[in-house]
Amino acid sequence: MRSGFKSIETKYMEEREALFHRLRDLDRRSFLKMSAAAMGAAAASGLTPFHSFQPVSVAQGAAPAGGGKAFRFAYISDSHLYEKHINDRFVRSLLRAVEDVNNLSPQPDFVFYGGDLAQLGQAKELELGAQILKNIEVPLKMMVGEHDWYLDMGEKWRELFGAPTYSWDHKGIHFVTLLSVVERDFWTARKMTPMQRMMTVAGLDNGVQSPFMVGEEQRDWLKKDLAGYLDDTPIIIFSHSPLYKLYKKWNFWTDDADEVQAILKRFQRVVVIHGHTHQLLTNRIGDIHFHGMLATAWPWPYAPEGMPELTIEMSRPDPFNPNDGCGDGEVHVHPDGLVDKVYSLWNRTPIAVRRGHTASWGKEDVPPRPNRASY
Ligand SMILES: [Fe+2]
Ligand SMILES: [Fe+2]
């Protein structure tokens, strides 16, 4: 590894660790107490304890391709858990997201977790995440992020959550989860330890790691998986990194995105939902509609170039509020497979980026501008 070089993420990590070392442990009993207090307050007031997600009316008139029904799922991502003696704030953020989704009424059909559950892929980080996510009351679907994987190459993640690449059908939609953070082997020739490999991948702009990709093996799997579906089947793909090329220096990028998009090209309606960028992103390439979702841990700044035209950037985080810019969200799936993305910055009113915005290439249903400058 190059010595003396510190990536922006490493610098962030060090600053955060210095801060959180000063915090005392928050033990399991405190979590439960906080949780119970919030639930009690909600029951007493008849309100949900934190923000309530605003219901988004589902437009009528869209012809269902597969005879599906409108439904919604919730989305939580990028919690970057350290062991709680190092950092309890990220733990509490994930706990809050779990409470948010458990307070949705009616409950979503499922919750999707968008990757980067752990910070450094350690068994204790992943176990802590699994323990918290067990409190979700509806089915949970999991996806891998690079921070979960590169210490033991996914051994612990698979033990806890199963296969990283899979698909299923739900109410007329075909869903696919990919592992989009495959990297070429940069570690063997450099004789890196597993932790050196993990730290290198965790630093987005260190110039050592390879760009993320889906890789040939999964692309072949995807072709086979989709082979039996007609062109008018609505497809929703989950990837951790955006399945397009946004900004390579920060790995806001999937190197074989063009090849994956080519596999999806024959379908009339495809939605790709990703985490990793810790910010709101909206994009459309051909008939593929892309939605980037929030992190619970921290917001990344927007990349200095390559921003998709359909993106209306979210508000700049308030520097006096460590949780500003963080949150969770919902995805309302229309019968035709296109979606309304509802993002809930925790101290702001939830905002919807509706189906019509990407369907009209930004001409209709323009989402409200944020109440502060973007970042
Ligand atoms: Fe992340
Ligand atoms: Fe990530």
**pLDDT band (50, 70, 90) for residue 204:** confident
Q: What is the CA radius of gyration of the chain?
A: 20
Largest CA distance in the chain: 61
- Tell me how far apart the alpha carbons of residues 287 and 225 are, in angstroms, rounded to a whole number: 19
How many angstroms is it from 4 CA to the middle of ligand 1? 24
Name the closest ligand to CA 253: 2
199, pLDDT greater than 80: yes
**Of 27-41, 115-129, 150-164, 259-273, minimum mean pLDDT range:** 27-41
How many angstroms is it from 298 CA to the middle of ligand 1? 8
In this structure, are residues 71 and 333 in contact, taking their beta carbons and an 8 Å threshold?
A: yes
In this structure, are residues 321 and 347 in contact, taking their beta carbons and an 8 Å threshold?
A: yes
Token duo for residue 365: 């249903």
How many angstroms is it from 213 CA to the middle of ligand 2? 13
Name the closest ligand to CA 13: 1
How many angstroms is it from 204 CA to the middle of ligand 1? 10
How many angstroms is it from 225 CA to the middle of ligand 1? 27
Name the closest ligand to CA 181: 2
Strands 288-292 and 281-285: antiparallel
* Mean pLDDT, residues 226-232: 97
Provide the percentage of residues in the chain whose pLDDT is more than 90: 72
Per-residue confidence (pLDDT) for residue 12, from 0 to 100: 58
Percent helix, percent strand, percent coil in the chain, to nearest 5: 30, 20, 55
How many angstroms is it from 142 CA to the middle of ligand 1? 14
* Mean pLDDT, residues 113-119: 98
- Tell me how far apart the alpha carbons of residues 201 and 161 are, in angstroms, rounded to a whole number: 21
**Of 28-37, 69-78, 113-122, 152-161, minimum mean pLDDT range:** 28-37
123, pLDDT greater than 60: yes
How many angstroms is it from 58 CA to the middle of ligand 2? 31
Per-residue confidence (pLDDT) for residue 322, from 0 to 100: 84
**pLDDT band (50, 70, 90) for residue 118:** very high
- CA-based nearest residue to 91, from 114, 110, 112, 117: 117
How many angstroms is it from 372 CA to the middle of ligand 1? 23
Average pLDDT, the chain: 86
* Mean pLDDT, residues 292-306: 95
How many angstroms is it from 306 CA to the middle of ligand 2? 18
Name the closest ligand to CA 145: 2
Q: Where are the alpha helices (DSSP H) in 61-161?
A: 89-102, 123-133, 146-149, 155-161
Place of tokens 């950037």: 313
Name the closest ligand to CA 143: 2
By CB atoms closer than 10 A (0-12, 13-18, 19+), residue 94 is buried
**pLDDT band (50, 70, 90) for residue 65:** very low
Name the closest ligand to CA 250: 2
Name the closest ligand to CA 326: 1
Specify the DSSP class assigned to residue 250.
G
- Tell me how far apart the alpha carbons of residues 308 and 282 are, in angstroms, rounded to a whole number: 7
Provide the percentage of residues in the chain whose pLDDT is more than 70: 82
- Crossing angle of helices 89-102 and 28-45, in 10° steps, is 40
Per-residue confidence (pLDDT) for residue 23, from 0 to 100: 39
**pLDDT band (50, 70, 90) for residue 205:** confident
How many angstroms is it from 259 CA to the middle of ligand 1? 24
Name the closest ligand to CA 295: 1
Write down the pTM of the prediction: 0.84
How many angstroms is it from 46 CA to the middle of ligand 1? 34
Token duo for residue 226: 């989709």
Backbone angles phi, psi at 90, to 5 degrees: -70, -30
Specify the amino acid at residue 164: P
b/e 288-302 (16+ beta carbons within 10 angstroms → b): bbbbbbbbbbbbbeb
How many angstroms is it from 295 CA to the middle of ligand 1? 7
Name the closest ligand to CA 296: 1
Name the closest ligand to CA 293: 1
How many angstroms is it from 360 CA to the middle of ligand 1? 30
- Tell me how far apart the alpha carbons of residues 285 and 358 are, in angstroms, rounded to a whole number: 10
Specify the amino acid at residue 357: H
pLDDT digits (tens, 9 = 90+) for 6-21: 666 566 556 555 544 4
The CA distances from residue 179 to 142, 221, 314, 345, in Å, are 11, 12, 27, 26
How many angstroms is it from 369 CA to the middle of ligand 1? 25
Q: Please indicate whether residue 225 or residue 41 has the higher confidence score (pLDDT).
A: 225
Per-residue confidence (pLDDT) for residue 207, from 0 to 100: 84
Strands 288-292 and 270-274: parallel
How many angstroms is it from 23 CA to the middle of ligand 1? 23
Name the closest ligand to CA 298: 1
